[in-house]
Structure 1
Amino acid sequence: MALFSRRGKSDDEQAPAATLGEAGAAAPSPEERAAATEDVPEVGISISTFGSGSAPTARPAAEAPARTQTVPGLPDNVLLKQALAALPAEPQNTDVMNVMRQAMQGHLYVRVQGDAKALLADGQPLNIAATAIGDQRFMLAFTGGAALQDSVRVDGDSATSAIGQPTVSVFQNVVAGPYAGLFLDHASVGARLILPSELIQKALEESEPTLALKALLVAERTTQTAADVADALTRVRLWVAGNTDEAGRIGLAEARTADGRRRLEVFSHPLEVIAVGRGDRPLPLSGEQLAKALSADPEISGVVVDPAGPWIELDRDDLAPVLALA
């Protein structure tokens, strides 16, 4: 059953709103909660192959899927929707981390009691849908129109509307509010998950506030994309994957293209390192440190950013703004 919590207008300024569909048959109320951990495993240095036909398993797509709209006016968060749909019956920590990383881009929808547009126009506060499991409360958020309609069918309350917000804004409201976590697509059986508040807070602390690099990678690619990504690498918080060998030497994970060229793997967030699934340790890196690493080894032909996907490869020519920092 959906509950509602009150929030001020300032949290939803300039947010698009849309009414939801009619209520239908009810489905069982979900009661499961997925566990997560903040521990980062430590294993050996890794080198991976990267590029067309070079990997023994299917590599992730370079670009985000085309945007869909299951309900007119409510574009889906396709990457997050796909991550939820891929969850096994009993999600493990790595599954939770993959959903968390894909949630750190794009937008989410929240349900509002009443007509959100009218309430915002009148300067009225909004009652945001939440649910209770035991003595804990969870904010509800949705990846698109289909998940919103599933929620309406569960509780039968069609006198609600939806507001789209950047995921970072939703996360900040969860952490600041009286919530134990964020319940994604709670009524979509087989494609739903709770992100604990502790995990959300940790992810926010380790992210660049605007998530600019992630936003560039999930956006439609243009002739300007490579230059924009290179510029972002000079100013946002970065990570590399690596560890120490038996002699205590630090090594960074590299990728190999199909023709054997070396690429340094660069990540927009520690969760992106974990998502690769090799057990490497995320190590923070500044743009200047990246420039020095590339300058110190001219055989490195460039970088691949977020190899778990969506990803992009940049050659040294593309990385001129980064190399200038050295």
Structure 2
Amino acid sequence: MALFSRRGTGGDTTPAASDPVEAPEASEGPGASEAPAEPVPQVGISISTFGQGPESARPLADEEPSAALPVTPRAAEAPPEVTQSVPGLPDNVLLQHALRALPADPEPPHIMNVMRQAMQGQLYVRAQGDAQELLAAGRGLNLAITTFQDKRFLLVFSGGESVQASAQAESGGQTSALGQAAYNVLRTAIDSGYDGIYLDHTNEGARLVLPIELVTKAVEQGAPAPFELKNILVRARSEGTVGDVAEILTRVPVWVAGNRDAEGRIGLAEARGDGGIRRLEVYSHPLEVIAMGRGDGPLPLTPEQLGRTLASEPGLTGIVVDPAGPWIELDRDALAPVLALAG
């Protein structure tokens, strides 16, 4: 078991500070801006290590698997429409939904759901002063953080409204919203030595601290191309989306949901429908498997292994990618480029 925990014991944070950083990577130095004192919510996380080794992944036929594992009720297929609570700053709607769904005392599954949605789309940080002018002048940016019991947390926002609320709660000077790909923001938090990220800290009931151990694990145990497959699934769909997904699957690893029966045989999760439809569940990140809440283990597959898995089971009519949503289905014909890797 891997135990990740960052717990507070109550009380207020010290005034928020900002460290000069070179976007998108951070570096240390003097300088500070004031932010309201906020208690960091208690966050305790205990989950199984979700990045199992590639030796655990084998084509279906190699293990004579037990009956396919059941699929949970399907989430929404297409991503929600993107909103702009502040004109010009698109909201990360999926992350906002995950934060708003948090109970008063979040359990690990709720935290994992927020973590998976924090890995897609765009996130925002606050910079002191005019970010465009500072960057044009080749100067570093002071990013807003908060501190709690000698721990430092990067303030991260899901949209313009939460950035505005944070800025309005301060008495400081000019502030800028800096939007970046989620991977860049998470990587900045890791490389800068922060103890975690504080998501939408002014939104009581819809805010959460993610400890840096979890953030690091999520970033470093995903696919080498930063969240490429996940990001395409959260964009508006077009006629070319299926082909784009199939092409990505020829280049990046994926995960399948596996479990063992009483006899030790491996069973891989399938989604089954009318007319003999059998789709292998495929996931863009191991956390997507955990988000299903079935206790399955994420098993990694290289593109070649995925091709061999599909080739070894001609009864599979295709795959469904990220069943926890947003998801997409690919029929066997669309998977021809992946099947070609089977050799």
Q: Secondary structure at the match of 1:2?
A: coil
Aligned partner (choices 296, 318, 323) of residue 334 of structure 2: 318
More displaced stretch, 67-76 vs 286-295? 286-295
Aligned partner (choices 290, 297, 300) of residue 274 of structure 1: 290
Question: Could you say which residue in structure 2 is the equivalent of 1:140?
Answer: 155
CA distance in 2, matches of 1:280, 1:305: 16
Question: Could you say which residue in structure 2 is the equivalent of 1:22?
Answer: none
CA distance in 2, matches of 1:188, 1:152: 13
Q: Secondary structure at the match of 2:237?
A: coil
CA distance in 1, matches of 2:37, 2:106: 19
Q: Secondary structure at the match of 1:65?
A: coil
Given that 2:283 and 2:321 are in contact with CA atoms closer than 8 Å, whether structure 1 keeps it comes out as: yes
Gaps of 5+ in 1: 13-25
CA distance in 2, matches of 1:174, 1:27: 21
Question: Could you say which residue in structure 2 is the equivalent of 1:168?
Answer: 183
- Paired residue type of 1:134: Q
Q: Secondary structure at the match of 1:199?
A: helix
Q: Tell me how far 1:37 sits from its aligned partner.
A: 2.9
Write the mapping of 1:74-153 to structure 2, written as runs, cut at 5 A. 74-153=89-168
Whether 1:307 and 2:323 are equivalent positions in the alignment is: yes
Aligned partner (choices 20, 33, 39) of residue 6 of structure 1: 20
Structure 1 104/10 Cα, relative in aligned 2: closer, same or farther at 3 Å?
A: closer
CA distance in 1, matches of 2:248, 2:40: 41
Provide TM-score, normalisation by structure 2. Answer: 0.84
Q: Secondary structure at the match of 1:140?
A: strand
Write the mapping of 1:256-295 to structure 2, written as runs, cut at 5 A. 256-295=272-311
Q: Secondary structure at the match of 1:70?
A: coil
Structure 1 27/7 Cα, relative in aligned 2: closer, same or farther at 3 Å?
A: closer
Deviations 1:73-123 (A, max 9, x none): 111011111111111111111111000001111111110111111111111
Q: Tell me how far 1:2 sits from its aligned partner.
A: 2.7
CA distance in 2, matches of 1:71, 1:81: 14
Q: Tell me how far 1:276 sits from its aligned partner.
A: 0.7
Whether 1:47 and 2:61 are equivalent positions in the alignment is: no
Q: Secondary structure at the match of 2:120?
A: coil
- Paired residue type of 1:36: I
CA distance in 1, matches of 2:273, 2:49: 27
Q: Tell me how far 1:260 sits from its aligned partner.
A: 4.2
Deviations 1:139-185 (A, max 9, x none): 00101111112212322335211111111111111111131100010
Write the mapping of 1:18-29 to structure 2, written as runs, cut at 5 A. 29=38
Given that 1:46 and 1:278 are in contact with CA atoms closer than 8 Å, whether structure 2 keeps it comes out as: no
Q: Secondary structure at the match of 1:318?
A: helix
Q: Secondary structure at the match of 2:48?
A: coil
CA distance in 1, matches of 2:171, 2:109: 34
CA distance in 1, matches of 2:182, 2:192: 15
More displaced stretch, 83-92 vs 200-209? 200-209
Write the mapping of 1:104-253 to structure 2, written as runs, cut at 5 A. 104-208=119-223, 209-253=225-269
- Paired residue type of 1:283: L
Q: Tell me how far 1:9 sits from its aligned partner.
A: 4.6
Given that 1:254 and 1:264 are in contact with CA atoms closer than 8 Å, whether structure 2 keeps it comes out as: yes
Given that 1:2 and 1:155 are in contact with CA atoms closer than 8 Å, whether structure 2 keeps it comes out as: no
Report the identity percentage: 52
- Paired residue type of 1:125: G
- Paired residue type of 1:90: D
Deviations 1:270-302 (A, max 9, x none): 100001111100011111111111111111110
What value does the CA root-mean-square deviation take over the aligned residues? Answer: 2.1
* Count of matched residue positions in the alignment of Structure 1 and Structure 2: 305
Deviations 1:208-236 (A, max 9, x none): 23211111111111111001111111110
- Paired residue type of 2:268: L
Structure 1 122/45 Cα, relative in aligned 2: closer, same or farther at 3 Å?
A: farther
Q: Tell me how far 1:251 sits from its aligned partner.
A: 1.3
Q: Tell me how far 1:314 sits from its aligned partner.
A: 0.6
CA distance in 1, matches of 2:21, 2:47: 29
